[in-house]
Amino acid sequence: MGKSSMSCVKGFVVLLTLVFIVLKLTLVIDWAWVWILSPIWIYVLCCLVLFIIAFIITLM
C-alpha cells in the first residue's frame, strides 16, 4: 500500500470512530465502549498481523 492509501484508511478509521462516538453520546446507539472504539483496535491488530507476517517472510 502506498502512502496515500494508508492515509485514506487511517482517515476512514478516525471518521468511523468519531461517528460511533457521536451516536453513542447522543444515545442513538446503546453499544459498549469496546465496540465504539473497535475501528481503532481492529486497525491496530491488522497492522500488527501484517508486520508479523512481513517479519516472518524476511526471516525465510
Structure pTM? 0.78
* Cα gap 27→21, rounded to integer Å: 10
Residue 54: alpha-carbon gap to chain centroid: 19
* Cα gap 40→53, rounded to integer Å: 20
- Give residue 54's pLDDT band: very low, low, confident or very high (50, 70, 90): very high
Statement: residue 1 has pLDDT above 60: no
Statement: residue 22 has pLDDT above 80: yes
Mean of pLDDT values over 20-46: 97
The confidence score (pLDDT) of residue 30 equals 96
The count of structural domains within the chain is 1
Quote the DSSP letter at residue 32: -
The parent domain of residue 26 ranges over 3-59
